[in-house]
Structure 1
Amino acid sequence: MIIFPIIIAISIVLFIYYKVAILKTKDGLTQRYFNAKSRICLGLFILCSGIYQYPLYQSKTSLYIGIVFVLLGGLQVVRGFKESKHYRNEWRRLNPAD
């Protein structure tokens, strides 16, 4: 069970990294790409938090909250993957020489 706290910590650090990277870039397409990547990290954080909390408390309330977190985190991860794929392809289309 040590893997979930590690994933939670890494995903929060990467979320903050991508949010700061958004502020440093001026290109709108790159900002949207970094926002999609940060959405993936946020989704992983929520997803792993939902999975990790049930073994800690083992109650029905914890189970219901964990299910909600897993669903919301999964939706964030899926949407982030779709957005990052779209913006990566769009960047390749606009910059064929790179």
Structure 2
Amino acid sequence: MIIFPILILVSFVLYIYYKVMIIRSTDPLTQEYLNSKAKLFLGSFIFFFGINQYVFYQTKLSLFIGIVFIALGIFQARLGWKASKHYQAEYQKHRTSPQS
């Protein structure tokens, strides 16, 4: 299955992209938002990596390791998703408020 390596690669590239964008940004709110997006893609990377390892090897050991990776990936992606939604709303408030 070629789809999982492609998803792993895309997730990893987007993770690196958002981490680089954090360095380039100077606004702390934007940095937090970009960090939450990076966490989301890190979680998807770990999730797809866990699935790929079980599909590739199909042993009991890879099943247990894959379950751990899938659980950690879901946990990380969920935290990134929640933080992303929070900071997106805060960013919208910040952009619409009058500047002093």
The 2-side partners of 1:20 and 1:83 are apart by 19
The residue type equivalent to 1:65 in the other structure is I
Q: Which runs of structure 1 show a deviation greater than 2 angstroms over 4 or more consecutive aligned residues?
A: none
The 2-side partners of 1:27 and 1:55 are apart by 42
Quote the offset at 1:59 in angstroms: 1.0
Q: Where does structure 2 lack aligned partners over 5 or more consecutive residues?
A: none
Query: Could you say which residue in structure 1 is the equivalent of 2:42?
Result: 42
Q: How does 1:46-85 map to 2 (within 5 A)?
A: 46-85=46-85
The residue type equivalent to 2:94 in the other structure is L
Quote the offset at 1:7 in angstroms: 0.6
Provide the identity percentage. 53
The 2-side partners of 1:95 and 1:56 are apart by 47
The 2-side partners of 1:94 and 1:56 are apart by 46
The 2-side partners of 1:23 and 1:81 are apart by 21
Q: Where does structure 1 lack aligned partners over 5 or more consecutive residues?
A: none
Quote the offset at 1:56 in angstroms: 1.2
TM-score, normalised to structure 1, is: 0.95
- Find the residue that maps to 2:96 and give its secondary structure: coil
Query: Could you say which residue in structure 2 is the equivalent of 1:28?
Result: 28
The residue type equivalent to 1:51 in the other structure is I
TM-score, normalised to structure 2, is: 0.93
The C-alpha deviation readout for 1:43-65, integer Å capped at 9, x for no partner, is 01100000011121111110000
